[in-house]
């Protein structure tokens, strides 16, 4: 015996019905054109807590928070789905017992074979756990940044104290000389020294305060030369006199799109590592240049600014090299290193859609390069190829 087309259709439909019914991780149900619940599956019951007989025929706004209802969100979603064929939403929804869950919602129109819209399919997932995990990760990143900042500030203030001491020596010495001077021209020069020293001090405190106040995760347009200069001011005399810091910037550097405070933290971390790698005398060189990448490093394509910090320190052993970006990995003694510097650098590069690469020769030195995406409005559009 051969079953007729319509019998087959009924069989498929009931099998499909069975499938939808048994799904428990997704609430899958249908709405009529006004938003009344027409069908209900096991997932809907599990996620929202209502049995089918408690919701069928009711309006789906019953799942929204009172605030969302007052704002007209259910109607707005329905209208949007009907006029465009579908709508998505993410937000709080309410269970039968009044508790809230964070829902990922898709609403799609269902059409009869003749094209007429007969209802809406609604799929809801409870992604509260995923949202909480993401929030926790953000929170941990912020904490990591905060603790790194305190560590860096600790390193900086020692150098700052020296700088301030020098400035005060200039100010006090010049003021004394000026008081005893009978030569108006000399007095004038001494007063200029005082003013100059005072201004340098105030510039330093400003840099320190803006670094200390910065909250993590604010993307924006950053001018690399300005940031490097303010980092240099911040460093003051933190580096020992036997270590020279050289800055080489290419002309016409593109602006980058990153979090300025985090980038400054990255530069400080790399410079502190370079300093720690140098025994006695050495050179740290900070360079920046524009580059157009075609897949290397790490699959990056397009325009980037590369900032590299190289040192003439002891280099990194090939056994250690694969581990340096791991959180808490350090080869330094207790109290000298936390092993968090390079994981901040790595996390920053990833978050900024950039990359970090390292090359090192034991006994000779290390070069760390950070690639940062350009702020696109700051460059000319790509010249057209071909033609003419």
Ligand X SMILES: Nc1ncnc2c1ncn2[C@@H]1O[C@H](COP(=O)(O)OP(=O)(O)O)[C@@H](O)[C@H]1O
Binding stretches for ligand X (CB under 6 A): 269, 273-274, 277, 311, 313-316, 320, 324, 329-332, 337-343, 366
Residue 146: closest CA among 234, 68, 262? 262
> Tokens 């003021």 appear where?
175
* Closer to Mg ion by Cβ: residue 261 or 341: 341
Dig out the tokens for 107 from the structure. Answer: 């609403």
Q: Write down the least CB distance from residue 333 to ligand X, Å.
A: 10
* Closer to ligand X by Cβ: residue 264 or 343: 343
> Tokens 């969302």 appear where?
68
Q: Write down the least CB distance from residue 358 to ligand X, Å.
A: 8
Q: Which partner in Mg ion, ligand X, none is near 264 (CB below 5 to 8 A by kind)?
A: none
Q: Write down the least CB distance from residue 154 to ligand X, Å.
A: 13
* Closer to Mg ion by Cβ: residue 295 or 335: 335
Phi-psi region for residue 302, left (φ > 0), alpha (ψ -120 to 50) or beta? left
Q: How far apart are the first and last CA of the chain?
A: 72
Residue 20: closest CA among 40, 45, 47? 40
Q: Which of residues 332-361 bind Mg ion (CB under 5 A)?
A: 341
Q: Write down the least CB distance from residue 147 to ligand X, Å.
A: 12
Q: Write down the least CB distance from residue 270 to Mg ion, Å.
A: 8
Q: Which partner in ligand X, Mg ion, none is near 324 (CB below 5 to 8 A by kind)?
A: ligand X
Alpha-carbon gap, residue 95 to 65, rounded angstroms: 10
Out of 39, 124, 238, 273, point to the residue binding Mg ion (CB under 5 A). Answer: 273
Residue 284: closest CA among 317, 316, 305, 313? 313
φ/ψ of 116, rounded to 5, equals: -70, 135
Alpha-carbon gap, residue 327 to 340, rounded angstroms: 5
Count interface residues toward Mg ion (CB under 5 A): 2
* Closer to ligand X by Cβ: residue 297 or 339: 339
* Closer to ligand X by Cβ: residue 74 or 282: 282
The residue ranges that bind Mg ion (CB under 5 A) are 273, 341
């Amino acid at each position: 015996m051969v079953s007729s087309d319509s019998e087959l259709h009924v069989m498929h439909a009931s099998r499909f019905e069975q499938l939808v019914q048994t799904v428990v991780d997704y609430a899958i149900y249908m709405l009529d054109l006004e938003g009344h619940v027409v069908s209900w599956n096991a997932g809907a019951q599990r996620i929202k807590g209502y049995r089918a007989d408690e919701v069928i025929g009711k309006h789906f706004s019953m799942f929204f928070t009172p605030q969302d209802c007052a704002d007209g969100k259910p109607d707005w979603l329905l209208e949007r789905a009907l006029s465009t064929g579908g709508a998505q939403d993410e937000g709080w929804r309410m269970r039968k017992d009044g508790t809230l869950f964070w829902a990922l919602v898709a609403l799609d129109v269902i059409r009869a074979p003749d094209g007429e819209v007969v209802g809406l399919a609604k799929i809801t997932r409870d992604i509260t756990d995923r949202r909480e995990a993401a929030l926790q990760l953000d929170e941990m990143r912020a904490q990591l940044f905060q603790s790194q900042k305190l560590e860096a500030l600790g390193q900086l203030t020692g150098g700052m104290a020296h700088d301030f001491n020098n400035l005060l020596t200039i100010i006090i010495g010049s003021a004394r000389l000026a008081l005893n001077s009978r030569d108006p021209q000399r007095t004038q020069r001494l007063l200029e020294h005082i003013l100059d020293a005072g201004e340098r001090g105030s510039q330093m405190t400003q840099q320190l305060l803006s670094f200390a106040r910065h909250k993590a995760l604010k993307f924006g347009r950053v001018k690399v030369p300005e940031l490097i200069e303010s980092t240099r001011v911040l460093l003051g005399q933190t580096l020992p006199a036997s270590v020279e810091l050289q800055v080489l910037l290419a002309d016409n550097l593109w602006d980058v799109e990153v979090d300025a405070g985090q980038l400054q933290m990255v530069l400080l971390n790399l410079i502190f590592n370079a300093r720690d790698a140098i025994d006695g005398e050495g050179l740290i060189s900070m360079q920046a240049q524009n580059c157009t990448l075609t897949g290397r490093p790490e699959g990056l394509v397009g325009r980037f600014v590369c900032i590299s910090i190289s040192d003439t320190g002891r280099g990194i052993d090939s056994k250690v090299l694969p581990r340096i970006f791991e959180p808490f990995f350090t080869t330094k003694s207790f109290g000298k290193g936390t092993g968090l510097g390079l994981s901040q650098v790595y996390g920053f590069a990833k978050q900024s859609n950039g990359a970090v690469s390292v090359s090192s020769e034991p006994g000779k030195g290390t070069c760390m390069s950070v690639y940062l995406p350009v702020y696109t409005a700051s460059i000319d559009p790509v010249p057209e190829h071909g033609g003419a």
